[in-house]
Chains A and B, each alone.
Chain A
Amino acid sequence: MYSAPYGSQADGGSLFSGGGFMPTQSATQSADGISRKSGGTQNTGLLPLTVKQISEAAQNSSDDTFYIDGIDVNNVTILGMVHNKEERSTDVSFLLDDGTGRVEVKRWIDGQDTFENEQIAALQDGVYVRVHGHLRSFQGKRNIVAFSVRPVTDFNEVTYHFLECIFVHLHNSKANGMAVKGPSISSPNYGNPVGGGAPSQYVTPNMTGVGGSMDECQKRVHSVFEEPSSLSSEVGLHIDDVARRIPGFTKKQVKDAIEFLVNEGLIYSTIDDDHYKSTNG
């Protein structure tokens, strides 16, 4: 799900970062003791952050750049409640409170765009919004210049945003672009809430219907077919391969299990009657 590496040189990342502000030096340790990576990998795309993280971001004294978890911060996405909205002819500004702190957000108004005007009219004190914007420091105060301010309509996005903040923090601080071995975060169930249910592990979607009624052998055989190596194979797996990978079951049991899985529509035969492949593949 999170295959796109946060903090690597994503092509889209530089789109909004504004040419003049890009640090070009490849210092590994700056004067104020902030370690950073060399040029090229500094463009971070859009970083999900809490206001507390923004307030604690280290700032390079010579230029206007911020660092969080050793990574350059340009564009951020934050989510919280609007307070003290002030509308002027050229801009609308407000304080965004995400429960960890408050930060000033300013959005310049073009004045021509009716869609923009509608968006701004929807901004009222007490409304939850998702802000995409550029983090900068102005007269010693940190604020966000927003590109987009959008009211939250599905409030699972609140949970999602903060889980994403945790995930990205882990990703950038521990792994430095490698696979994260953090605790498994079960993402909120967008638009398909399981209100009150126990947090469930990820299961392949079409297993949920029959998973409960499978016996041990059928489950084991099915999981063999669901392994990434099995899914990527053109011809699928030979019955003997399957039997070899789950010791403790006879070939007869494996054959019966395969027949069951075929009837359930979970696997299908490929080049001959001995080779099968998952319908997920």
Chain B
Amino acid sequence: MDTSNPAPFVNAELLKRYPGRRVRCVLKVVRAEGNSSLSGLTSDGLHISVKQVPSVASLSQFVEVIGVVDSDRTLRAEICTNFGDTFDMSSFNQLVQMANSEYQSLFI
């Protein structure tokens, strides 16, 4: 058991709360720039960019990025997982908000 290095669920708004920390965030991919960075929309509808994307064969429409917060609008990726083309961002966004407020004790 190890809970010393959690990766909280975030959207763009909550990214600011975790500078330098490991977080996880589902993005709707807007475009892949080159083969190591991408830009996408967070579940609260804001653009962020992701650096050091591990080379993935192909990205689905929705991608989960686990990585370290570089700035308010940039993530440095560690793991990217394809979340398919049908992911409900509004439900996810509600989960993100609950996991960082009222029910934070269950998560981090």
Instruction: List chain A positions with a Cβ less than 8 A from chain B.
Output: 50-55, 81, 99-104, 126, 128, 141-142, 154-156, 158-159, 162-163, 165-166, 169, 183, 185-189, 191, 193-199
> What residues of chain B lie closer than 8 Å to A102, measured between beta carbons?
1-3
Residue numbers in A under 8 Å from B7 (CB-CB): 99
Asked whether A159 lies within 8 Å of B92 as measured between CB atoms, the reply is yes
CB B75 to nearest CB in A, in angstroms, measures 15
Q: Are B3 and A55 in contact (CB under 8 A)?
A: yes
- 24 residue pairs of the A-B complex, CB under 8 angstroms, read A50-B106, A52-B3, A52-B108, A55-B1, A99-B107, A100-B108, A102-B1, A102-B3, A154-B86, A155-B83, A155-B84, A158-B83, A162-B99, A166-B106, A169-B103, A183-B102, A185-B94, A187-B91, A194-B90, A195-B28, A195-B88, A195-B89, A199-B90, A199-B91
B106 touches A186 (CB 8 A): no
B103 and A166 within 8 A (CB): yes
- Contact between A169 and B106, CB atoms less than 8 A apart: yes
Residues of A within 8 Å of B4, CB to CB, are: 101
CB < 8 Å: which of A54, A100, A103, A188 contacts B92? A188
A101 in contact with B2 given A126-B81, A155-B62, A165-B106 (CB within 8 Å): yes
Other than A99-B7, A195-B88, give 12 A-B pairs with Cβ distance below 8 A: A102-B2, A104-B1, A154-B84, A159-B88, A159-B91, A163-B98, A165-B106, A166-B103, A169-B106, A183-B102, A188-B88, A195-B28
Whether A195 lies near B87 (C-beta < 8 A) is yes
Q: Cα distance A185–B24 when bound, in Å?
A: 21
Which of A54, A99, A154, A156 lies in contact with B8, CB distance below 8 A?
A99
Residues in B whose Cβ lies below 8 Å from that of A126 = 79, 81
- Is B46 an interface position by the 8 A CB rule? no
Taking a contact as CB atoms under 8 Å apart, the answer to whether B106 and A100 are in contact is yes
B5 CB to closest chain A CB (Å) equals 8
Cβ–Cβ < 8 Å partners of A198 in chain B: 90
A128 and B89 alpha carbons, distance in the complex (Å) = 18
- Cβ distance A220 to chain B, nearest Cβ, rounded Å: 28
A277 to chain B, nearest CB (A): 33
Residues 31-66 of B, flagged 1 when their CB comes within 8 A of A and 0 if not, give 000000000000001000000000000000010101
**Contacts of A53 on B, CB cut-off 8 Å?**
106
Judge if B20 is at the interface, Cβ distance under 8 Å: no
Cα–Cα distance between A90 and B107 once the two chains are bound (Å): 33
What residues of chain A lie closer than 8 Å to B24, measured between beta carbons?
A: 99
Interface-centre pick from A100, A154, A191 (highest chain B CB count, 10 A): A100
Is B95 an interface residue when CB atoms closer than 8 A count as contact? yes
Q: Are A196 and B1 in contact (CB under 8 A)?
A: no
Closest Cβ neighbor of A160 among chain B residues: B91
Q: Chain B: which residue is nearest A97 at the CB level? A: B7
Does B6 interact with chain A (Cβ within 8 Å)? Answer: yes
Q: B69 to chain A: closest CB distance in Å? A: 14
Q: Please, how many angstroms separate the alpha-carbon atoms of A197 and B94 in the complex? A: 12
Q: Are A196 and B81 in contact (CB under 8 A)?
A: no
